Amino acid sequence: MTAKINPSKGAPHARIVGVGGYRPVRVVPNEVILEHIDSSDEWIRSRSGIASRHWAGPEETVAEMSIEAAGKAIADAGIDASDIDAVVVATVSHFKQTPAVATEIAHRIGAGKPAAFDISAGCAGFTYGLTLGKGMITDGTAGHVLVIGVERLSDLTDKEDRATAFLFGDGAGAVVLGPSKEAAIGPTVWGSEGDKSQTITQTVAWDEFRSGDVSQLPVDSKGEVKFPAITQEGQAVFRWAVYEMARVAQEALDAAGITSADLDAFIPHQANMRIIDSMIKALKLPEHVAVARDVETTGNTSAASIPLAMERLLASGAAKSGDTALIIGFGAGLVYAATVVTLP
């Protein structure tokens, strides 16, 4: 016999109710990067717009940075940690795969026993997590969801590679999602292009690295096997990010039923200032739209970049609570996700 099953009852909509960020104490200017590569401050700035980034110290672990960012987001939301029913952590740089870091974070912030798990979706990880969290709230499986993007990409940076040594930074960004009467997170336009998986990738898989075979693996200037790092095909990624992602961003605006004229803010993944500038052109964004340019002093922090940039845009006064923002994450996979949100 087929029993009648109760449907889950969710909130009509979800919204971002709080945001918080944590940047490591140590600021690393381009001069420090130049100790290991033959380049110049001018070259780095002209190719990436990056002047400095934050690199985490030994105590600033993925969990610690997340807890700091989560605490600020929960305070900003004005809720108690025990109100959180799910913790979603997007990261590619938490080196202990089992258990998921989300459970430790959930426990240590005092959230009790929420659902907790990690996701891996590269630089789109935060927007993927936001989309999952929104679904939990409208489905009724969670009242409030904590979504964290966190990275220690300095651990996955080849400090001797002049094409990538300057790109990456560390940090954590978090948002709290809660129920809403009105739609405050639009439909997500997302997807993957696995045929381009090699354009952004880890140089060496962990099991290959374990072999320690100097004859097979990349070696550094001291002749030692290099630790795995993130590498990318710059031109291919740039073309995809600017032109394909501008199209995805436009689809997200269309799906939300608004035009770029209705936007107050644009918060793209902070990959590279040149990508951001070219996307603005390709999207024909009106001048009144505040654009997040956190990459200049934070570098590319992958899954953490959008919430960090969101927090900074709000803190600077360039955007305010209630503003309409377009967010788009894109990166290794290749994967992407874009949506329109009301800022907390």
Partner 1 sequence: MATKEEIVAGLADIVNEIAGIPTEDVQLDKSFTDDLDVDSLSMVEVVVAAEEQFSVKIPDDDVKNLKTVGDAVDYILKAQA
The residues that touch partner 1, with contacts defined as CB under 8 A, are: 46-47, 233-236, 238-239, 242-243, 274, 278
Least CB distance to partner 1 at residue 232 (A): 12
Residues written for the chain: 344
- Distance in Å, CB of 274 to partner 1, minimum: 5
Instruction: Point out the catalytic residue in the list 54, 94, 144, 269.
Output: 269
Of the pair 46, 197, the CB lying nearest partner 1 is at 46
In the complex, minimum distance from the CB of residue 238 to partner 1, in angstroms, rounded to a whole number: 5
Shortest distance, CB of residue 259 to partner 1, whole angstroms? Answer: 23
Nearer to partner 1, 86 or 275 (CB): 275
Phi (first) and psi of residue 72, to 5 degrees: -70, -40
Question: Is residue 269 flagged as an active site residue?
Answer: yes
Give the nearer residue to partner 1 in terms of CB position, either 43 or 209: 43
CB atoms within 10 A of CB 192: 15
Q: Which of 54, 94, 144, 300 is an active site residue? A: 300
Sheet holding 189-192, edge to edge: 189-192, 335-342, 324-331, 265-268, 290-291
Closer to partner 1 at the Cβ: 2 or 235?
235
What is the C-alpha separation between 230 and 226, in angstroms, rounded? 12
Active-site pick, 54, 123, 144, 272: 123
189 SS3 class = strand
Instruction: Quickly list DSSP for 215-249.
Output: TTS-B-TTSPBPPP-EEE-HHHHHHIIIIIHHHHH
Q: Which is nearer to partner 1, 32 or 236 (CB)?
A: 236
Q: Which residues of 22-58 are buried (b: 16+ CB within 10 A; e: fewer)?
A: bbbeeebebeebbeebebeeeebeebbbbbbbbbbee
Tell me how far, at minimum, the Cβ of 273 lies from partner 1, in Å: 10
Q: What is the rounded CA–CA span in Å between residue 77 and residue 19?
A: 7
Backbone CA torsion sign across 247, 269, 194, 129 = negative
Within 13 Å of residue 213, how many CA atoms lie on the same side as its CB? 9
Which residue lies nearer to partner 1 by CB, 248 or 255?
248
Q: Is 36 a catalytic residue?
A: no
Q: Taking a C-beta distance cutoff of 8 angstroms, is the pair 172, 150 a contact?
A: yes
Q: Tell me how far apart the alpha carbons of residues 175 and 232 are, in angstroms, rounded to a whole number.
A: 29
137 touches 209 (CB < 8 A): no
Catalytic-residue membership of 30: no
Known catalytic residues are 123, 269, 300
